[in-house]
Structure 1
Amino acid sequence: MSVQEQKPHIVMLPFMAQAHMLPMVDLVRVLAKRGLTISILATPHNAGRFKTVIDRAIATGLDIHVLHLKFPCSEVGLPDGCENFDMLASGDDVFKFFKAIDMLKEQVEERLRQLEPSPSCLIADACFPSWATTIALKLHFPRILFYATTCFALLCQHIQNNCKELDAITSDTEYFVMPGLPDRIELTKAQLRGAPNNPSFEWNEIWDEMRKAESEAFGAIVVNTFEELESEYIKEYKKAIGKGVWCVGPVSLCNKDYADKVERGNKLVSTAENEYYLQWLDSKEPGSVIYVCLGSQSSPATLQLIELALALEASNRPFIWVLRNASEESQKWILEEKFEERSRTGGS
């Protein structure tokens, strides 16, 4: 194929956390359906999480390639195979995880150099350090940032980082009107904060790198949002950062097939279990079921879990509650109080 006939070749570098990785894998298929060649750089464990979905896409004729990176777990003191944010056991492991990400620089550069045809651009998650931009510039193509969140959240974060007025607010629980937003919205410092209170030197380094990556990247960023959802916030965010914003969402709509929807995440429940939950949902009135899931990283403390459990029970509504890594103490309470049995008529 001549240079003139070559399709654009996009390289994707997803961050190793479910809420970041899954939207980027969706975007991979969206772009591939437009006739582009797509290469995904991922560690073996993370690639395994989306292998079934990507293999099915490749089988339809989409030009997608998965290239593995070795995640340096042992070099930073993480257990072998600990390659995703939801596998971290403690707050200290977060810093080890970001240190390991920093050590991927040489591997990523080597992979990008070897690719044929040469990449047209690198779309890297915004959580990757500025070295991704440095490598792209060195190899003569742009690094484009990808954000899986909304422009509302990004604008709030930008204001938080740049508005001196907020420094005068010392209370974590006092509500204030967030300046610079198109609407009157009241928040507290605790709600706004995207990092721990009194962040350590390590946290500050991580956030500084992300801000540096945003400022140095190509003149437009890709965001998993859409104009009809938050047009004013998109407009204000463009103005605030002085870059273009390409709204490509919601990318999850690319999941048309039933199999793509249920196999999109990490672990697929058995077919029998999946059918049980679907039949249970079908037996309930539309709009009657409460769904509770605190994400792939949050594990409530036992007292929080008990309060949430009692509130769900008191609602007298059917519910599905997804629990991640409940502590032994929490599991003991659930068993001793026979909570599942008590709520069986209302929830699952």
Structure 2
Amino acid sequence: MFPWLAFGHMIPYLELAKLIAQKGHKISFISTPRNTDRLPKLHPSISPLITFVKLSLPQVENLPKDAEATTDVPYDKVQYLKQAYDSLKEPLSKFLESCDDLDCVLFDFAPYWLPDIATSLGIPNVIFSIFTAAALSCVKPASAVDDRSKPEDFTFPPKWVTFPTNVTLRLFEVLRIFDQSLDPNVVSDFYRLQEGMKGCDMIAVRSCMKFEPEWLHLLEEIHGKPVIPVGVLATTEYDTGEENQTWRSMKDWLDKKKKGSVVYIAFGSEAKPSQVELTEIALGLELSGLPFIWVLRKHRGSVDTESIELPEGFEKRTRAQGLVCTSWAPQLKILAHDSVGGFLTHSGWSSVVEALQHARALILLTFLADQGINARVLEEKKMGYSIPRNEKSGYFTRDSVAESLRLVMEMEEGKVYRDKAKEMRPLFADKDQQDKYVEKLLDHLKSHGRIKKIKR
């Protein structure tokens, strides 16, 4: 397994690795030294079956020293992390050549060059995407002509989508993608995905048939190769018995709150609001009057000089209303607590899965990448409510934040979102169903014409 250098990618890859290891298979999990050291500890029952292969990340110009994951760098520096990642091509090739009993390689969107290497070595390869099938369907397949060129063109479903849908990016989301000034030496994400899906033997997707059947069928149709849902891969952690002081104080605070009354706010490891956005979110929270826990990242890595700050006096004024945590926080434990009723989220797929496995209602505020597509899917299925924003600038107000939070958390109008979260919990938390998806993946790997039999 060779995931991209973001914890939102590495963690789902590790979840799949653990589920495959539970079936008795051996996995080589390839990443960098610092990243593997920061991954959750494995249960002793499967740790002998998962080997962490540590490839040192080459230093490239403009990439801060010791930066090995997206969480270590400002957003505009992620492109140089991709450049360094591409430099792993040679050491990865040597590792693959040295493996005598390798049955298959699962790779992420970023190493678009890996299918050619694997094919030359006679190793079957599968692109395993942590993005939804809906998000993948927005990327041009090899068989299609894509005449989209202007930002406005991307606010409509592409021509190869054969069914009516409102799932598409909004203009401000497209503009944020277009505004990325890529170094000419760095390959775009769209090209990486196009090449990866074109060159692979199979496409595995972090999704399930009951959630997005139309998109999974479309993917298979437009790419002409097997598309295998592997389940939603709800995050699990091996409980070592240690309890973090941060969690103890949060739990004491949550224990005193009414069931379902607290809104949890977090925007993942990559999304970082602007100062204007942060101010409106904070004042909106205050206006809502709702109790809250906010995990706030003021910096992305040690070289991020653009610090964002809460409005003056905010923490003092809201001391009785909420908690602000600017360090690591145990998201799974927070979401699992009965006092938490809703989640203000960036719509990252991992966060969505973690919220729905605990039946938490979703309030959506997108920032980058595939988050806009995820939000539209959730809106279309009445599983999430997006804070109203200006279509071009993405600007939103404190009033819209407050009103959206109250609607989803308390009002009759928002009951549909609370009920839908409860309705979807069995789908997102069903371990037996997840196990069946992994079995089906392994069956496909064994039976597919170009895939060798996996040895137990």
Q: Could you tell me the TM-score, scaled by structure 2's length?
A: 0.62
Change in 2 beyond 3 A, CA 1:281/1:244? farther
Give the corresponding residue for 1:67.
Answer: 53
Which ranges of structure 2 fall in alignment gaps of 5 or more residues?
A: 300-304, 324-456
Give the corresponding residue for 2:134.
Answer: 152
Give the corresponding residue for 2:18.
Answer: 29
313-322 or 161-170, larger mean C-alpha shift: 161-170
Change in 2 beyond 3 A, CA 1:58/1:128? farther
2: distance between equivalents of 1:40 and 1:306? 41
Letter in 1 for 2:107: A
Give the corresponding residue for 1:342.
Answer: 317
Q: Shift of residue 97 of structure 1?
A: 1.5
Change in 2 beyond 3 A, CA 1:26/1:193? farther
Give the corresponding residue for 1:18.
Answer: 7
Q: Shift of residue 330 of structure 1?
A: 3.5
- Aligned residues of 2:57 and 2:68 also touching (Cα < 8 A): yes
Letter in 1 for 2:108: D
SS in 1 for 2:80: helix
- Select 2:121's aligned residue among 119, 133, 139: 139
SS in 1 for 2:179: coil
Q: How many residues matched?
A: 314
Q: Shift of residue 215 of structure 1?
A: 0.3
- Aligned residues of 1:171 and 1:189 also touching (Cα < 8 A): no
Which ranges of structure 1 fall in alignment gaps of 5 or more residues?
A: 1-11, 263-269
- Select 2:98's aligned residue among 102, 110, 114: 114
2: distance between equivalents of 1:109 and 1:162? 31
Q: Shift of residue 195 of structure 1?
A: 3.0
Letter in 2 for 1:66: F
2: distance between equivalents of 1:22 and 1:169? 32
Q: How does 1:1-348 map to 2 (within 5 A)?
A: 12-50=1-39, 52-54=40-42, 57-60=43-46, 62-73=48-59, 75-89=60-74, 91=76, 93-115=77-99, 117-130=100-113, 132-158=114-140, 164=146, 166-167=148-149, 170=152, 176=156, 180=161, 182-185=163-166, 187=168, 188-192=170-174, 195-197=177-179, 200=182, 201-202=184-185, 205-218=188-201, 220-252=202-234, 255=236, 257-259=238-240, 271-326=244-299, 330-331=308-309, 333-334=310-311, 337-348=312-323
1: distance between equivalents of 2:151 and 2:64? 41
1: distance between equivalents of 2:63 and 2:41? 28
Change in 2 beyond 3 A, CA 1:157/1:318? farther
1: distance between equivalents of 2:288 and 2:148? 38
2: distance between equivalents of 1:127 and 1:177? 24
- Aligned residues of 2:125 and 2:200 also touching (Cα < 8 A): yes
- Aligned residues of 2:2 and 2:107 also touching (Cα < 8 A): yes
- Aligned residues of 2:138 and 2:157 also touching (Cα < 8 A): no
Letter in 2 for 1:226: C
- Aligned residues of 2:41 and 2:238 also touching (Cα < 8 A): no
1: distance between equivalents of 2:178 and 2:151? 16
271-280 or 315-324, larger mean C-alpha shift: 271-280
Higher helix share: 1
2: distance between equivalents of 1:189 and 1:15? 27
Deviations 1:265-315 (A, max 9, x none): xxxxx7221122123223323322212112211221211111110011111
Q: Shift of residue 183 of structure 1?
A: 4.1
1: distance between equivalents of 2:162 and 2:320? 45
Deviations 1:61-81 (A, max 9, x none): 6511111101002x4442331
Deviations 1:17-64 (A, max 9, x none): 0111110011110110011011111110110111x423xx34556511
- Aligned residues of 2:298 and 2:307 also touching (Cα < 8 A): no
Letter in 1 for 2:78: V
Letter in 2 for 1:252: A
Q: Could you tell me the TM-score, scaled by structure 1's length?
A: 0.80
RMSD, matched Cα: 2.9
Structure 1 residue ranges, 4+ long, deviating more than 6 angstroms after superposition: none
